[in-house]
Homo-oligomer: A and B are copies of this chain.
């Protein structure tokens, strides 16, 4: 009897139903700001979601994502003013649309079941694949982890909102991040009253999404 070599083993294939489920999660995922009152998520559910995030690709396998659970009422109250201050600065920077902006709900820090920070780890010096764009590739890797988390959450019928309104040095100090670590986002996670039919910024008339064809660039003549 011979042991089959791994390459003789066909890779697990996805069938039509599985494929449809993946496309559905991608299509129905939303950046959520409205959450329902909820107890904290069960530990095993949160672990499952974070394992999905942790399955992300990373340049040179550097795995630069870090997660901090900040769901206690005290942490929410500590962080809320940091986001609120940035919201006010954003309104000021938006000038004539500032008042309209202030009427939008842009975060769910105090409403969501769980509040997490996603943090970029201090640079570990990985060279593989990031000789020329080291910061970009580290950020991209961490973002892939968040996108995994987003899709896994949607498949668990949970909403996630990535809040990027904060002053990074101020948030880094509040979280006592080590030198060189950078906060990427505050992630609001939990049950939602409904998922937006369209991205919230479209539903509210803030901005319209553009079609795919406008994203396609033709290569120059060779």
Contact = CB atoms under 8 A, between A and B. Distances in A.
Given A23-B52, A94-B128, A168-B132, A156 B14 contact: yes
A215 B162 contact: no
Contacts of A148: 26, 147, 151
A105 interface: no
Interface residues of A, number: 110
Contacts of A29: 55, 57
Nearest to A56: B147
A151 B22 contact: yes
Given A12-B28, A194-B10, A207-B61, A175 B220 contact: yes
27 contacts: A11-B194, A12-B195, A18-B155, A22-B151, A22-B152, A23-B152, A26-B52, A26-B148, A27-B52, A29-B57, A56-B147, A57-B162, A61-B199, A61-B201, A61-B206, A67-B216, A75-B219, A86-B132, A90-B128, A94-B127, A119-B217, A128-B206, A128-B207, A132-B168, A144-B144, A175-B217, A175-B220
